Chain A
Amino acid sequence: MNTAPEAPREAHHQEWISLRIMRGTTKERQKVVSYQAPYSPGMVVLDAVRWVQEHQQPDLAVRWNCKAAHCGSCGTEINGRPRLLCKTRVDELGQAPITVAPMKAFPLIKDLVSDVSWNYAVVKTIPPFKAKVKAPFTMYPEDAERIQEFHKCIECFLCQDTCHVLREHQQFGKYYGPRSMVLIASLEMHPMDEGDRLPLLDGNAGLAMCNVTGCCTNVCPQGIRITENAIIPLKERVADRYYDPLKKWISNRREKRRQDQDHRNVGTRDNNHHDDPSIGAY
């Protein structure tokens, strides 16, 4: 299996593209194997990998579904960069062999397929959407637009893969990762939601672990401004509630003015304070 099938001798250089694909079922023993696939105009890396699978290596494991960048199944690392196989054009990668590897942050199943089950496990702990009122909602276009950005997420987990907290430091028990933050932001900023996820963010979800390097935003195939529009506003919300006496004082004053009738209400939300203060490093 580790020998590369040779391209037909008469093939012209530009008519065949070279692939270097990681094969094997354990990270330590994965090997790079070279393959060649015929070039066609506009082809994406997934086309090349699938050609190898269909014609030479039927047991080459690769995860894909829609081939249209809608489903987010085919996240891998192409020439070292986390990308979707279906959205990466071969002609933008130049003439050098294209290296395809599984997402590094997660455990390996086989070849290009990673075990991404952790991502599904953590979101189970996030309090779901909780409607304040019965539908139909009265919601204006501008209310919708803000959170619709987060709803564009295709759950490819490339942001999780690139996040150094998870990738380099393997802190899976301490930080839920950028995808989870996008999900939480979409819920927290929904004008009709009355759930409260700030205790989780300040506790087990480990928002403080993120030091806003913006790597997740850079790899997002949907162009979601993860750091700027999801993570930073969430950090501000957590800081406002738990860590910033001045801001808290100001917001309490505002609240006080608005609800002049009931002074005792102010600040009671602090009762559900986070359970692990050591994580909060604001």
Chain B
Amino acid sequence: MSTQVATLESHTFDVLVIGSGGAGLRAAVQASVPGVSVGIIGKSLLGKAHTVMAEGGVAASFGNVDRWDGWETHFYDTMRSGHFINDYRIAEKFAHEATERVLELEEWGAVFDRTPDGKIMQRPFGAHSFRRLAHIGDRTGMELLRTLQYKAISQDIEIFQEVTVTKLLKDEAGRIAGALAYYRATGDFVLFRAKAVVLATGGWGKLYKVTSNSWESTGDGGALAYRAGAEMMDMEMVQFHPTGMVWPPGVRGLLVTEGVRGEGGLLYNSEGERFMLQYDPERKELSSRDVVARSIFKEVQAGRGTPHGGAWLDITHKGPEFIKRKLPGMYEQYLTLADVDITKEKFEVAPTCHYTMGGVRAEAETCATNIPGLFAAGEVACGLHGANRLGGNSLADLLVFGRRAGEGALAYARDVAEASSVNAQEIETEMARVMAPFSVSHGENPFEIHEELQDIMSAHAGIVRSGPDLEKGLAKLQALTDRATNMAVSGSRVYNPGWHAVFDVQSMLALAELIFRGALARQESRGAHWRTDYPDELPEMGQWNFVQSIDEGVQAVPVPQMPKELSRLFERGMAPGAWTKQQEGKEN
């Protein structure tokens, strides 16, 4: 072993969690039991993760305001909006456990908005059959993250802030062994060895120019897992949220919570038509996100867009007092950043990249991946949302499967006598790779590569796609990837954002290619994936998930078939709870 590796700062844990957002913290809290050592790594400071950006609420079928709601209806809505390529086993566990997980948060100090009779308040959201989203005004994610953050602090968990992982390490048998990382503040390397690793690093919304995602969402975990041999599924499925800010330019893409429509906001085109009546007469503004986003896009294409290329969203009819109480963050956001008072005037919105449904293929029970000892939860994982995620389901997702991944990793770690050995040569090679950009002269600026990547993705793999266009985009991407092998940085290793960006860009380039390949394989339109050369949803394509791995390329894998007791829920053509409600109505 070289002195460089022998003197490396090193930590060994039973369970190592990579990612300190909602899913990672929930996993760490679960795995941290007496006698078990747990470490958690975050790329940012603690409590700053993208979870903090979630606004509208967490979906859980309490039935506090609509008593007909229940897990079956939540399951029904989730599968239906996912266009049935979700893993039903994951969706079933999810719908069953979401309420329990939300109550747990309440017991750990989260303060949800209340009903007049003292229960957790629930608000309507797109394509949920009932008022289902437990919320705290329009800052639900922040409350959730803060609660988990302080829960984790109160337990015996070692927290590493502002640390970037560059490689997952495996032993000779292919089991997870740990990760190599560096401190962003100093640039010094640090080695983590672990019996089990939970990956909870979020999505890759920063692949797109117009995005609601914070800078961190660069898909590090997805790329780390892919390079280590993990199976990536449904990569073509990228969610465009219907309502992002449009103007001024600096805030383009910033999220406008679905809560605005949930609380009664209406969408109009430039001719004053409430166009959602035409695209989805039943659910209107509260249709699923894929439908509303596409509708806005089509209106703009047809020349009925707002001055800056969006639609009007209007909630003024609800009155200032209501708006300021229910949507204080939105009121403030528009007032300070866009000089618009949403209590007095309508405002412009347009689709923005919001969420990546695809990701590391994980199993329902424990979130195990195909790499022994590696577990995945939250946005980085795949299986729950299918072709389109419901609003409020991601916060519930990270609670339910953060816990399950923590539990799974804990059980795995208990069965393993000690952390697998790591290969010193492999570590040395990786350290040299990470340092290489400092030695390149006249190389590419990582920030510029990122910008060009965003242009390619927005133009060729955005809200509207076609075969020839995807092919063109893929060719451009490959050329850009070649150029990116020559990225250069200057300055020292101390808190050097240019250097940090190199690894973000490398992750995004890897995942961008998977998006193109998945999108080319799925020759149909389904949920968020809209192809003009295959405009219809095709039953035969709905039988497959596309799974990609570094060794096997793209493979079509059958979508798991629901057993009778679940498939019967769809036979009536309406949600189970809605049917019960209708029956009660008839009886009275």
Report which A residues bind B (CB closer than 8 A): 1, 25, 40-44, 47, 53-55, 58-73, 87, 89, 109-111, 113, 115-117, 120, 123-124, 128-129, 131, 134-141, 143-144, 147-148, 151-152, 154-155, 187, 190, 193
Contacts and interface: CB of A to CB of B under 8 A. Distances in A.
A185 B46 CA distance: 21
A47 B112 CA distance: 34
Contact of B446 (A43, A58, A193): A58
Contacts of B117: 138
B414 interface: no
B214 A25 contact: no
Interface stretch (B136-144, B266-274, B288-296, B511-519): B136-144
A152 B336 CA distance: 17
Given A68-B53, A136-B103, A58 B146 contact: no
A199 B116 CA distance: 35
Interface in B149-171: 150-151, 153-154, 159, 161
A58 B119 contact: no
A64 B159 CA distance: 20
B371 interface: no
A70 B53 contact: yes
B40 interface: no
A62 B496 CA distance: 9
A70 B52 contact: yes
Contact of A73 (B48, B137, B255, B446): B48
Given A25-B494, A44-B337, A59-B498, 16 more contacts: A41-B249, A42-B338, A58-B490, A65-B44, A66-B214, A67-B215, A68-B53, A70-B329, A120-B161, A128-B109, A128-B154, A129-B150, A141-B113, A143-B114, A151-B136, A151-B143
A59 B492 contact: yes
Interface in B23-67: 44-50, 52-53
Contacts of B494: 25, 61, 109-110
Nearest to B447: A54
A87 B334 CA distance: 11
Contact of B104 (A61, A135, A152): A135
A41 B248 contact: yes
Contacts of A25: 494
Contacts of B153: 120, 123-124, 128
Interface in B475-510: 489-492, 494-499, 501
A63 B47 CA distance: 14
Interface string B185-222: 10000000000000000000000000000111000000
B111 A151 contact: yes
Nearest to B62: A136
A61 B496 contact: yes
A186 to B, nearest CB: 8
Interface of B: 44-50, 52-53, 103-104, 106-109, 111-120, 136-137, 139, 141-143, 146, 150-151, 153-154, 159, 161, 185, 214-216, 247-251, 254-255, 329, 332-333, 336-339, 445-448, 451, 489-492, 494-499, 501
B261 to A, nearest CB: 19
A62 B44 contact: no
A100 B332 CA distance: 24
A70 B339 CA distance: 18
A59 B491 CA distance: 6
B114 A141 contact: yes
B176 to A, nearest CB: 28
Contact of B214 (A55, A65, A116, A148): A65
B114 A144 contact: yes
Contacts of A124: 153
14 contacts: A70-B139, A72-B48, A73-B48, A109-B495, A120-B153, A123-B153, A128-B109, A139-B114, A140-B118, A144-B111, A144-B112, A144-B113, A144-B114, A190-B111
Contact of B109 (A72, A134, A187): A187
Contacts of B154: 128
Contacts of B497: 53, 58-62
Nearest to A137: B106
A140 B114 CA distance: 6
Q: Which 3 A-B pairs have the closest CB atoms?
A: A42-B248, A58-B498, A59-B491
Given A65-B216, A111-B495, A134-B107, A71 B52 contact: yes
Contacts of B448: 54
A89 B333 CA distance: 12
A145 B166 CA distance: 43
Contacts of A109: 185, 494-495
Contacts of B247: 42
B255 A40 contact: no
